[in-house]
Amino acid sequence: MNKNTAINRLIDHTLLKPTATKEEIINLCKEAKDNNFISVCVNASYVGLCSDLLRGFDVKVCTVVGFPLGATTTATKVFEATEAIENGATEIDMVINNGALKSGNWDYVKKDIKHIAEAVQTKGALLKVIIETCLLTDEEKVHVCEICKEIGVDFVKTSTGFSTSGATVEDVALMRKTVGSDMGVKASGGVRDAKTAKEMIEAGATRLGTSSGVAIMEGGSTANNY
């Protein structure tokens, strides 16, 4: 992505809290349209609503799969992704199985990602893989990013925002170094102000997952959840 891309076109305007109401999702979509964000990122039950609200606007609908733990079966993740795309999602953020990773079962981790990638990309949608950096060693981060690069996913993503911590500049830089210039890197979790957003972009992020998109555009900050 061009480094001169306006920051609003890097923001996945996000609302994933379990208590999100229909009214809040409607407002999220309004803010996305008003600010011309690249996408809204919502839980799967709201994909159809967002697709209807954003029809005709240059704002994509993104949802999450295997969220937030990544511990569901591959078949379940494939079903989630396929249903979401049928309902109007054009971007899928999936969580890897970190239990398998920590068990040293890299073959499972790879097959899990590969099956989701096939299900998503053959339908013309974009796949981001959430590796949950706060749970991994640097060596594990590098290895899973190398797997994602080999498979050909579109983005690697730092965090769900629902674990022990979110994105760090160091992790974004490491992920960018590992995947090179041809893949996307999404920083998510704790990106709440313009200063942090700028730091993540400078480290190599080409997407920002945040519930604070409006505050970032205004140059302020917010204490909202991820």
79/209 Cα distance (integer angstroms): 24
For residue 99, what are the contacts with CB-CB under 8 A and spacing of at least 6? 70, 71
Indicate which residues carry an active-site annotation: 93, 157, 186
Q: What is the SS3 assignment for 55?
A: coil
**Residue that is written with structure tokens 């013309």 in the block:** 124
Q: Report residue 166 as tokens.
A: 């979110």
Strands 126-130 and 91-95: parallel
Amino acid present at 210: T
For residue 144, what are its two tokens?
A: 């899973």
Looking up tokens 């965090």 gives 159
DSSP structure class, residue 8: G
Among 216, 174, 167, which residue's Cα sits nearest to residue 10? 216
Q: ∠ CA(204), CA(149), CA(10), 5° rounding?
A: 35
